[in-house]
Structure 1
Amino acid sequence: MLTVGTFVQPVTLTFAGESLALAFPSVSRINPRDVFDVNRFAYLGDSFVAGPGAGAAYDGDSCFRTKEAWGLQVANDSKLHGPKPIKNFDFIACTGAETKHIYKGAEGSDVQPKEPQASLLKDTNPDLVTLSIGGNDVGFTDLLERCVYRFKHLGCLGCGSFFGPPDDCTRDCDEAMKLLGTNIDSDDLRRKYTASITAIFENAPKSRLSVTGYPRFWNDTTDDCDNVSFKFGCNRNDFLPLIKERRSKMNQLTFRLNDKIKSFITDYQKDHKDVLQITFVDTDPYFKGHRFCEEGVKEPSYRNPDIWFFPFEYSATSKVMFSVNDQTPKGDRNAILNGGGDAGRYFQCLIANSLVDGGENDLQAQPNNVKSDSDPNLIDSKTLPGFLTRIFHPNIKGHTAYKDAFFDAYNAGKDNESPDSPKSGVKCKGLQSNTYATIAPLSDLITNTYCPLLAGMSDSIGTGHYLSGTPEAVDIFAGPSFSISKPAAPPTPTQCAQNLHKIFDECDNDSSANPMDWKAGGEVEVDGWKYSIATKAQRPPAPKHP
Structure 2
Amino acid sequence: MRFSTPFIFLICVSLAAGRLSHPVHPEVPVSQHVLSSSEAGHYRRPRIPYFTHLQDGGADARTGFVAFGDSYSAGIGTGLDGPEDECRRGVHAHTQLIAEDLSASQGGPNATAFQFLSCTGATTEEILSGGEMSQIDTFNASHPADFALLSIGGNDLGFFDVMNACIFRFYDFYSGTCESALEKSRASIESEEFESRVQILITEILDKVRWEKKPWFFVTMTGYARFFNEMTDGCDEMSFGVWWNGPKLKKRLRLQMNALVLAVNAKLRKTVDMVNSRFTRDKVLFVDYDEEFDGYRFCEASVTEPDYGRNDTWFFLVGGPDNARNDTRANHTLDVETLSPTSILVDPSSCLEPARRSGDWGELALCYMAMAKQRDPTLQPARGNIYARGNGMWYVPTYYGKTFHPRTLGHERVRDTIYEAWHELESR
User: Normalising by structure 2, what TM-score?
Assistant: 0.75
Q: For 2:307 and 2:344, how far apart are their aligned partners in 1?
A: 34
CA 1:334–1:271: 2 relative to 1, 3 Å: farther
1:398: which partner in 2? 410
Residue 330 of structure 1 deviates from its aligned partner by: 3.2
Question: Equivalent of 1:313, from 311, 319, 323?
Answer: 319
Residue 130 of structure 1: SS of its match in structure 2?
strand
1:300: which partner in 2? 306
| 1:139 partnered with 2:146 | no
- 4+ residue segments displaced more than 6 Å: 16-19, 21-25, 35-38, 82-85, 360-363, 377-380
Residue 277 of structure 2: SS of its match in structure 1?
helix
Mind listing any 5+ residue stretches in structure 1 that lack a counterpart? 1-7, 26-30, 108-113, 160-168, 319-324, 371-376, 417-546
Q: For 1:139 and 1:18, how far apart are their aligned partners in 2?
A: 35
Equivalent residues of 1:148, 1:229 under 8 A apart: yes
Residue 412 of structure 1 deviates from its aligned partner by: 2.1
Q: For 1:332 and 1:186, how far apart are their aligned partners in 2?
A: 32
Equivalent residues of 1:378, 1:384 under 8 A apart: no
Residue 413 of structure 1 deviates from its aligned partner by: 2.4
CA shift digits 1:195-224 (9 cap, x unpaired): 110110111123211000001111101112
Question: Equivalent of 1:255, from 250, 262, 267?
Answer: 262
| 1:74 partnered with 2:98 | yes
Tell me the amino acid that sits aligned with residue 403 of structure 2.
I
Q: For 2:416 and 2:204, how far apart are their aligned partners in 1?
A: 27
CA shift digits 1:213-236 (9 cap, x unpaired): 0011111011121111211121x3
**Bigger-Rg structure (1/2):** 1
Question: Equivalent of 2:370, from 352, 356, 365?
Answer: 352
1:3: which partner in 2? none
Tell me the amino acid that sits aligned with residue 182 of structure 2.
M
Q: For 2:102 and 2:113, how far apart are their aligned partners in 1?
A: 17
* Count of aligned positions: 365
Residue 392 of structure 1 deviates from its aligned partner by: 0.6
Residue 255 of structure 1: SS of its match in structure 2?
helix
Q: For 1:120 and 1:384, how far apart are their aligned partners in 2?
A: 28
1:530-541 matches, cutoff 5 A: none
CA 1:86–1:98: 2 relative to 1, 3 Å: same
| 1:281 partnered with 2:287 | yes
Q: For 2:116 and 2:293, how far apart are their aligned partners in 1?
A: 24
CA 1:118–1:260: 2 relative to 1, 3 Å: farther
Equivalent residues of 2:68, 2:118 under 8 A apart: yes
CA 1:242–1:326: 2 relative to 1, 3 Å: closer
CA 1:14–1:195: 2 relative to 1, 3 Å: same
Higher helix proportion (structure 1 or 2): 2
1:56: which partner in 2? 80
2:222: which partner in 1? 212
Q: For 2:36 and 2:335, how far apart are their aligned partners in 1?
A: 38
Q: For 1:77 and 1:16, how far apart are their aligned partners in 2?
A: 7
Identical-pair percentage: 27
Q: For 2:251 and 2:114, how far apart are their aligned partners in 1?
A: 42
1:387: which partner in 2? 399
CA 1:176–1:369: 2 relative to 1, 3 Å: closer
Q: For 1:64 and 1:18, how far apart are their aligned partners in 2?
A: 19
Equivalent residues of 2:370, 2:393 under 8 A apart: no
Mind listing any 5+ residue stretches in structure 2 that lack a counterpart? 1-28, 56-60, 321-333, 338-342
1:188: which partner in 2? 193
2:274: which partner in 1? 267
Equivalent residues of 2:78, 2:93 under 8 A apart: yes
1:34: which partner in 2? 53
Over the aligned positions, Cα root-mean-square deviation in angstroms equals 3.8
Tell me the amino acid that sits aligned with residue 285 of structure 1.
E
Residue 117 of structure 1: SS of its match in structure 2?
helix
Structure with larger RCO (C-alpha < 8 A, sep 6+): 2
1:444: which partner in 2? none
Q: For 1:378 and 1:88, how far apart are their aligned partners in 2?
A: 43
Equivalent residues of 2:79, 2:92 under 8 A apart: yes
Tell me the amino acid that sits aligned with residue 145 of structure 1.
N
Residue 237 of structure 2: SS of its match in structure 1?
coil
Equivalent residues of 1:43, 1:130 under 8 A apart: yes
Q: For 1:408 and 1:54, how far apart are their aligned partners in 2?
A: 23
Tell me the amino acid that sits aligned with residue 293 of structure 1.
C
1:13: which partner in 2? 34
CA 1:333–1:250: 2 relative to 1, 3 Å: farther
Residue 340 of structure 1 deviates from its aligned partner by: 3.0
CA shift digits 1:385-425 (9 cap, x unpaired): 22011011111111111111111111222799xxxxxxxxx
CA 1:103–1:73: 2 relative to 1, 3 Å: same
2:89: which partner in 1? 65
1:177: which partner in 2? 182
